[in-house]
Amino acid sequence: MSVDESSAAMLLAGFRAWLVRERGLSQETVRCYGIQAGIFLAWLSGVGPVDSAVRQLDSGQVTAFMVEYCRGRNRWSAKAMATSLRALLRFLHASGRTSTPLTAAVPGLAGWRVASLPRGLDAAVVARLLGSCDRMTVVGRRDYAILTMLARLGLRGAEVISLDLDDIDWRGGELVVHGKGNRVDRLPLQVDVGDAIVAYLIDGRSACAARAVFCTVRAPYRPLTAAALRQVMGRACHRASLPRAGAHRLRHSLATDMLRAGASLPEVGQVLRHRSQLSTMIYAKVDENALRPLARAWPPGARSRPGCAAPPRTIWRCGGRSASS
């Protein structure tokens, strides 16, 4: 390792420690921020030695890096870098490595929180995913327990892999979930979820020093990572002959199913443990029961059947003449 690489490694170590100490971020978030910050420092090392380059850092360099990095990347990758870079710049200023705060130099990225529809999966599709797991094998029992937790409890992927054996209160029938922003919640342990976990723990999970519930099936036994969880979901989609989907799709599926069953938006937000009502508002677009009274007949003045907002016949225009189906 060169002197410059050593300086960058020490700087990143200090940045990670600061994120934990001052920001109280989770281990997974600190890991992601560190990766993104390392990309920026590697880019900065092209200007000169990292220590001196950081001291001479200006807003023009910050903006130039973001413009270069975002070229050809999707919005989510760009937003992740922008968030991590702002945190790094705050750390550099707080630790005296830069004389002025440079967070304002990171360009803002367009994004509308409720612009898109939540992409949930139908109940039949979720059943196919769960049914694709071969519960006669160790891997199948583990994957079935993971997918059941995602689908029935609406947990995030990071919350599933961070679950420890001590987080399950079997006598009280509760589950301790460590969520975003170091939030801790206690959820009821549903029967089917508990049965799936028990089947895996009794006849599947290998005895190891790790306290994580879900571990690898081959030695050396380690807790599952976020990448491994994505593979679990990807394999299930492949077995069920479905397009590849992320674990978060099961969280959306639970929310949309609740709405269609008559649950209110506040109730959905409570189950998903949203800190802000804005996070739940996106599901208002798929709340068919609430949207039905707002639908208006088309064309204006057309009479509709009772209980149906659309007219009985579809009307369109072709070559200046009207036709009806």
DSSP code of residue 110: -
The answer to whether residues 59 and 105 touch, using CB atoms and an 8 Å cutoff, is yes
Q: Which of the residues 86, 205, 252, 274 is marked catalytic?
A: 274
Q: Which of the residues 16, 86, 142, 156 is marked catalytic?
A: 156
How far apart are the two ends of the chain, measured CA to CA in Å? 74
CA-to-CA dists, residue 174 to 122, 155, 168, 187, 215, angstroms: 27, 14, 6, 5, 21
Query: How far is C-alpha 276 from the chain's CA centre?
Result: 16
Instruction: Judge whether 251 counts as a catalytic residue.
Output: yes
Can you tell me the distance from the alpha carbon of 121 to that of 243, in angstroms, rounded to the nearest whole number? 11
Q: Which of the residues 135, 142, 205, 251 is marked catalytic?
A: 251
Instruction: Judge whether 180 counts as a catalytic residue.
Output: yes
Instruction: Judge whether 274 counts as a catalytic residue.
Output: yes
Instruction: Judge whether 178 counts as a catalytic residue.
Output: no
Instruction: Judge whether 156 counts as a catalytic residue.
Output: yes
CB atoms within 10 A of CB 102: 22
Alpha helix ranges (H) inside the chain: 3-18, 27-44, 50-55, 59-70, 75-94, 123-131, 138-153, 157-161, 191-202, 226-239, 248-260, 265-272, 277-281, 288-291
Q: Which of the residues 248, 260, 273, 285 is marked catalytic?
A: 248
Question: CA torsion angle for 254, 259, 264, 269 (degrees, to 10)?
Answer: 30
SS3 content of the chain, % helix, strand, coil (to 5): 55, 5, 35
Collapsing DSSP to helix, strand or coil, 255 comes out as helix
Q: Which of the residues 93, 180, 230, 239 is marked catalytic?
A: 180
The phi and psi torsions of 315 (rounded to 5 degrees) equal: -120, 135
* Active site positions, annotated: 156, 180, 248, 251, 274, 283
